[in-house]
Structure 1
């Protein structure tokens, strides 16, 4: 009632003046000190101390959220988690000098501290740690890329001001934080056109608002005495009445009508399964197409581009194509069971998508599945399909009954007191979706891809029924075409032969390149210009980047006090390569030279005192870059 949270209660009981001085936070603060080498002093206005407080607070919020099933993402609640975590990463990067992932190392301390009170921290420890580490790696790459671009902007700037549009490009396209941009610019003696940035930000918001703008009319109520009832578990058709409807207009979807019936066989999108599509047929044969079905405020909403002509009359509702979605949905249950058997019981569902074309299943696992594991999973699913296992539907049982029966619950999902359990033999899952009556209705199951979607999360995509037949038919057709092209029925042997020939040709090309490079080195050694304190070589070429690099390293090694500038147009793309011999690196810096020259080709790059490269967009700018290089 007082609004006093756990941390403030600890502060009061322990006689501390700050939440961060209590033993709720001190173990995490001490771990940050150990990892960063920075000492926490508890000052309110010290940037280092502020950063440490942000990190220990945010690691708690993010870890508990991930343990509860919410992974970072680009939308919804997941985006909030991503932003919280990125704020912590940014503070570590900016104020603690952490250029490598380190926040994930705090999870062990948090789990040790809070695991007893919140067991999910221990149970999901590997997942939490790996997700945070992957997010750190990803955002640190973003920061590194943003810093390079910001460096290029400053090098190309004619004044000490970076425009709002340029800063917004960094922010919008690359996710580079605007406050970090402003901080770096200030350190470098530049200013940010904040007004211009805000104008660009406002334009983006207006574009987003316009795209999302939706005009929704009030419901037109036709009858109030009928309560909506879902009958789609038992039938694909029925006689329905429209109880109310409304018109919805949006820039994205145009004009649609939302219809609510007294009873409906149409399944609304949910549990990873797409909403049903189908028809409404009037007594005189007029047809209205239902293009999607969704749920809103416990109402099943049927979407149509037109209204039924006789909207007050009873209509025959017919669901079309659901068997395909049902086959894919039931296959995900068999897939889940097989994955746990083959990979281990640590496998838990992390999301799914089921439609009439294919299925997608996300699950917890920390390494790529081997070909043998994929084959074994496929075999087990297909074995159960061929065993013709009948569906056992437990439509309205208590949560405790389901748990006692060994039902799998979706990680992070919230359930009521009464649930629906779907059973195919030993596979038992809580599920509200629609399913085949027998596994034989799935026909065939084929995994078409397996890959990572996040740290510790893998994704399997698969197909069933006619899609499998079509898949193998397409493969057979491709094999026939390859046989015709290769003039051989033994495709494997012929491809192996081609690869051997290709590798031999590659080796021959590399040998020729090296031979050509040797010749260029000998020729170019005679073309150095004596510039007093250095020998300068500036050359235009069409050699590839690898060959140019080898030449530059060899020349700066063989020619003392040398600065080598090679301008290449290989592949019609401008490329600058600069080398400085070790004996004059204290006077000349290859990285600085290449940054200055890169302005002429509208590009950027960098490197160290001895070697640097830059790419650009303006091929014609190589001429000006060459003139500027000759003035070194």
Structure 2
């Protein structure tokens, strides 16, 4: 049975049981501050488990794209080393939101595995929560135990501890016992030697968990205590790749048709063979796994970067590149060539791969080029570290600096050191790494109290499209403390005019006015698990009172002017550059807007002017705002509304139209494009290969921009003696400057030529070395040119030149290459040591290096010391 058939059978089985097949949510999460990536199938349903929303369909089934590379669920370093861990994987799941519970979940799971998929019952084991003796004082899950006992022999039921058989969303929130189903795919001979029950949860590669049935029936509070949930839910997750391994009768996930096409392509590209050498096998598994994670992330809108989720994606990609570099001898980009095979194999189930294939290839290829350059730079820097090592061990903190600052992989450092007969101070490296982690953890640590619920009516209404102030009542609140923001409170109201951060638009600010005139300021507004949360420093004095919620009108008006401008900009780019342009991200603030889009080349100044004129023509046209709320998503798309990749849309959506610009959007907008006043592009540049970024301003910010330009122009005219044509006056100055610069260069060349003749006569022979240490009046570039010119005409040369410029000292050391080898001299080492006399440091190549310092008075001592190196 193929992987496609297995996925289809799972979905159809539960469809026949009354479940609605729902599409996979994007793997990159955009509206949940507690998660970067979807790491479990339940993530997109959190609002139902938390009771913030009621599911329209109480039963659901899906195949969810997941990524586990950060936080609690981090399998990254295991991937490739074994055959069953992955970064990106599919999780097959069936869900009950307050509908069926343990009986149906257990019986249907067994029916699917043994009767539909025909997995041998004797290969399966199940586990049940045994209870806990800690503060929870939970008993054995007898309900699940009795249900299983009616299906399988009791010796195949394993009692599991809290770690393995009690599932929790986090430190707080819904949780409950779970039953895992494990499969033993060992040979009959191996099974006869060791019972399968003893290998369950023992990290055996052929005795693995295949399905986890979670029974959510408790809520974990901030103090650690449990309380029953008002409605009980079922949340199951089955590893698709592991199921394929079982169904296809192989011993590894990587031997299934999920991975085999990619592995064959890796073999072809790298001229390697899978299954012959363990190191090569690990490298191929790493690459085969990681290309999926990176490709799906880019398709869902997350580009590699230096922060947040983008940093995680870059780290995954670089891990794959270095495995190829180290073990498969790939010195050129190659991973982007795997995207086509992946798309052919999985594009039917996940069409976003087909739609975004070209972009995925471009981004990966550019990232590979960049990292391979980093590896080259790292090798040079590592050589310098090795040159300065004392003894046989390299300082772990130096290795960490290479890793942290330059991205040079630590395992590659260790490999190169071992080849040179050196060892790595691993404890020092781990200590430096832990110190950094502690700093990062301390900066981001946050503690949350339990919600204090004031009203049983938790339904919340957003009224911010139609009004900027209204009377509200507090429904619940909690205290949140973090090192970054200090102590804050999060408030939820029965209704709110405050727009929560989303769709690139920042959250509203404003205040709550009390009946007595006191105010509490709203510092930010965000959305979490379908609830609009308001951030304040203080609680209202009367928690049960009625307050006047007032949005900062000026900030909202500026922000929505920028948001409407992004829609017009999107339309303009597609008209001017072509229909291939798609939005890849946006940031809408009150002071500016940022818009990322797909495009294959730099936007020319002429094209930018055309885009700017297009937008301003729509502003001048005073196009009215038209919207449709709660329209079926299919109808919206039929009407031409643009949907964005990586966004999750519900059954009903909101469309926003200005003339011929129509998009699916939940943000706030001006009532008429004339309210924007004017649009001005401030910058355009590359974000990644195939991705460009425009930053622009509107409204008051444009007025300020032009006022500042007027002021600068007046200042420039003043410096040019109020020239009537300042452009012509500056051009004349540039021509004069260029002419004078050439004259100075010619004079310096003559000076250096005369100086070279003079210095040649001053050379002294010391132990067969032509030696000179002298202070001269040239800049750094002139000294370097002089040194190399003298070296072309003189063998066995050792030069140390010093100069003083702008109150600082510079030492330059040149050593003929034959001396570097014959006398074990190193210019880099020498200038670092002599640099101490000028209170500075430096480095360079063994034959030429420089050091700068802040103590010119030490130059004479440094020059005097130079002769010691050749005596």
The TM-score with structure 2 as length reference comes to: 0.66
* Equivalent of 1:491 in 711, 726, 744: 726
Contact 2:443 2:484 in 1 (8 A): yes
Once the two structures are superposed, the pairs formed by residues 269-284 of structure 1 within 5 Å of their partners are 269-284=501-516
Distance 1:61 1:249, change over 3 A: closer
1:352 and 2:590 matched: no
SS across alignment from 1:224? coil
Contact 1:340 1:346 in 2 (8 A): yes
What is the distance in 1 between the residues matched to 2:591 and 2:769?
68
What is the distance in 2 between the residues matched to 1:458 and 1:212?
31
Contact 1:286 1:309 in 2 (8 A): no
1:524 and 2:759 matched: yes
User: What is the aligned partner in structure 2 of residue 627 from structure 1?
Assistant: 865
Q: Which moved more, 1:466-475 or 1:133-142?
A: 133-142
Contact 2:587 2:593 in 1 (8 A): yes
* Equivalent of 2:356 in 124, 128, 149: 124
Once the two structures are superposed, the pairs formed by residues 294-333 of structure 1 within 5 Å of their partners are 294-320=526-552, 321=554, 322-333=556-567
1:227 and 2:472 matched: no
User: What is the aligned partner in structure 2 of residue 154 from structure 1?
Assistant: 386
What is the distance in 2 between the residues matched to 1:529 and 1:482?
55
What is the distance in 2 between the residues matched to 1:539 and 1:96?
51
User: What is the aligned partner in structure 1 of residue 496 from structure 2?
Assistant: 264
What is the distance in 1 between the residues matched to 2:350 and 2:482?
44
Once the two structures are superposed, the pairs formed by residues 104-119 of structure 1 within 5 Å of their partners are 104-107=336-339, 110=342
Distance 1:587 1:189, change over 3 A: closer
* Equivalent of 2:776 in 541, 544, 554: 541
SS across alignment from 2:489? strand
Aligned length, in residue pairs:
622
* Equivalent of 2:656 in 390, 406, 422: 422
Distance 1:396 1:190, change over 3 A: same
SS across alignment from 1:74? coil
What is the distance in 1 between the residues matched to 2:669 and 2:599?
26
User: What is the aligned partner in structure 2 of residue 291 from structure 1?
Assistant: 523
What is the distance in 2 between the residues matched to 1:421 and 1:244?
31
User: What is the aligned partner in structure 2 of residue 580 from structure 1?
Assistant: 816
Contact 2:798 2:813 in 1 (8 A): no
Deviation at 1:573, TM superposition (A): 5.3
Once the two structures are superposed, the pairs formed by residues 149-548 of structure 1 within 5 Å of their partners are 149-225=381-457, 227-320=459-552, 321=554, 322-487=556-721, 488-531=723-766, 535-548=770-783
Distance 1:118 1:269, change over 3 A: closer
Unaligned segments of structure 1, at least 5 residues = none
CA shift digits 1:332-383 (9 cap, x unpaired)? 0000000111111111111111111111111111222111111111111010
Distance 1:559 1:350, change over 3 A: same
Distance 1:603 1:92, change over 3 A: farther
SS across alignment from 1:260? strand
Q: Which has the higher helix share?
A: 1
SS across alignment from 1:90? helix
Contact 2:619 2:673 in 1 (8 A): yes
Q: Which moved more, 1:94-103 or 1:420-429?
A: 94-103
User: What is the aligned partner in structure 1 of residue 848 from structure 2?
Assistant: 612
Contact 2:812 2:851 in 1 (8 A): yes
User: What is the aligned partner in structure 1 of residue 227 from structure 2?
Assistant: none
Deviation at 1:224, TM superposition (A): 1.7
Deviation at 1:5, TM superposition (A): 4.9
What is the distance in 2 between the residues matched to 1:279 and 1:195?
52
Contact 2:801 2:813 in 1 (8 A): yes
Contact 2:619 2:677 in 1 (8 A): yes
CA shift digits 1:438-460 (9 cap, x unpaired)? 11111111111111122221111
Deviation at 1:568, TM superposition (A): 5.1
Contact 2:447 2:480 in 1 (8 A): yes
Contact 2:467 2:497 in 1 (8 A): yes
SS across alignment from 2:826? helix
Q: Which moved more, 1:387-396 or 1:571-580?
A: 571-580
Deviation at 1:76, TM superposition (A): 4.2
What is the distance in 1 between the residues matched to 2:398 and 2:251?
46
SS across alignment from 1:394? strand
User: What is the aligned partner in structure 2 of residue 84 from structure 1?
Assistant: 316
CA shift digits 1:491-535 (9 cap, x unpaired)? 100110111111112111211211111011101111233356553
Contact 1:577 1:612 in 2 (8 A): yes
User: What is the aligned partner in structure 1 of residue 266 from structure 2?
Assistant: 29
CA shift digits 1:518-566 (9 cap, x unpaired)? 0111011112333565534444435223212321232122234545454
Q: Which moved more, 1:541-550 or 1:93-102?
A: 93-102
SS across alignment from 2:297? helix
User: What is the aligned partner in structure 1 of residue 787 from structure 2?
Assistant: 552
Distance 1:210 1:116, change over 3 A: closer
What is the distance in 2 between the residues matched to 1:183 and 1:575?
35
Unaligned segments of structure 2, at least 5 residues = 1-112, 114-118, 120-209, 211-238
Contact 1:62 1:85 in 2 (8 A): yes
Distance 1:279 1:49, change over 3 A: closer
Q: Which moved more, 1:222-231 or 1:271-280?
A: 222-231
Once the two structures are superposed, the pairs formed by residues 125-144 of structure 1 within 5 Å of their partners are 125-144=357-376
Contact 2:800 2:811 in 1 (8 A): no
Distance 1:576 1:213, change over 3 A: same
What is the distance in 2 between the residues matched to 1:589 and 1:371?
58
The TM-score with structure 1 as length reference comes to: 0.90
Q: Which moved more, 1:213-222 or 1:301-310?
A: 213-222
CA shift digits 1:231-263 (9 cap, x unpaired)? 111111111111122222222112212111111
What is the distance in 1 between the residues matched to 2:346 and 2:843?
46
What is the distance in 1 between the residues matched to 2:558 and 2:796?
73
Contact 2:262 2:338 in 1 (8 A): no
> How big is the alpha-carbon RMSD for the aligned residues of Structure 1 and Structure 2?
3.0
Q: Which moved more, 1:469-478 or 1:410-419?
A: 410-419
SS across alignment from 2:656? strand
Contact 2:261 2:341 in 1 (8 A): no
What is the distance in 2 between the residues matched to 1:302 and 1:480?
46
What is the distance in 1 between the residues matched to 2:680 and 2:290?
42
What is the distance in 2 between the residues matched to 1:216 and 1:307?
15
Q: Which moved more, 1:416-425 or 1:118-127?
A: 118-127
Contact 2:352 2:645 in 1 (8 A): no
Distance 1:323 1:361, change over 3 A: same
